[in-house]
Amino acid sequence: MSDLRSLIRSIPDYPKPGIIFRDVTTLMGDARGFKAAVEGMAAPYANEKIDAVVGIEARGFILGGAVADRLSCGFIPIRKKGKLPWKTIGQQYALEYGVDIIEIHEDAITPGQRILIVDDLIATGGTAEAAAKLISRTGGLVAGASFLVDLPELGGLDLLRSHGVRTHTLIAFEGH
């Protein structure tokens, strides 16, 4: 995975001082890198029954759509509040300062469906935890969560595992 790692651009002090932004657009723009990332994220679930991938706005749409195609399953978007056109259910989650809300279409998941969560990166895990709650509230079963990048110091994977969610990541970066 050292190749994949070197394809990710690290931008210090973006969007604010002290944060290193891990920019995956440089990896997505590389044909072999993008393919390897999608393959790696989908691989642990290839022989399982996954009914749909839930992708989290916005980079989770790009990776999630490709992973869904690879697993021959559906794709369901989770978006920031007010963006989805049909009836939604929302879930609040904590940001460093304040709160945010993500939403899913209320009828997107059929109860009992097995759902894989996909996003580009897990930091504190707050976003993915909120996504897992939305899936559970619609009657879906969280079959796992797959991320390209983990920031282990922020403890997101531990948070998801504390809810019994199986996790899979390809690359870890130190720091925030």
If one asks whether residue 78 binds ligand AMP (CB under 6 A), the answer comes out as no
Give the relative orientation of helices 59-70 and 31-42 as an angle to the nearest 10 degrees.
70
* Separation of CA 18 from chain center: 23
Using DSSP bridges, classify how beta strands 9-12 and 20-23 pair: parallel, antiparallel or unpaired: antiparallel
If one asks whether residue 64 binds ligand AMP (CB under 6 A), the answer comes out as no
Residue choice 33, 40, 144, 156 for contact with ligand AMP (CB under 6 A): 156
Print the binding letters for residues 115-144 with ligand AMP: x by CB under 6 A, - otherwise: ----xxxxxxxxx-----------------
Considering the candidates 59, 103, 114, 129, report the single residue annotated as catalytic: 59
115-136 burial, b at 16+ Cβ within 10 Å, e below that, comes to bbbbbbbbbbbbbbbbbbbbbe
- Using CB under 6 A as the binding rule, the residues of this chain from 3 to 42 that contact ligand AMP are 19-22
Distance CA 169, CA 46 (A): 15
**Facing residues of 172 across strands?**
150
Distance CA 92, CA 114 (A): 23
If one asks whether residue 62 binds ligand AMP (CB under 6 A), the answer comes out as no
Give min distance, CB of 21 to ligand AMP, in A. 4
Is residue 59 part of the annotated active site? The answer reads yes
If one asks whether residue 171 binds ligand AMP (CB under 6 A), the answer comes out as no
Considering the candidates 22, 39, 57, 96, report the single residue annotated as catalytic: 96
Is residue 96 part of the annotated active site? The answer reads yes
Q: Kindly list the catalytic residues.
A: 59, 96
Which positions lie near ligand AMP, rule CB under 6 A? 19-22, 56, 59, 119-127, 156
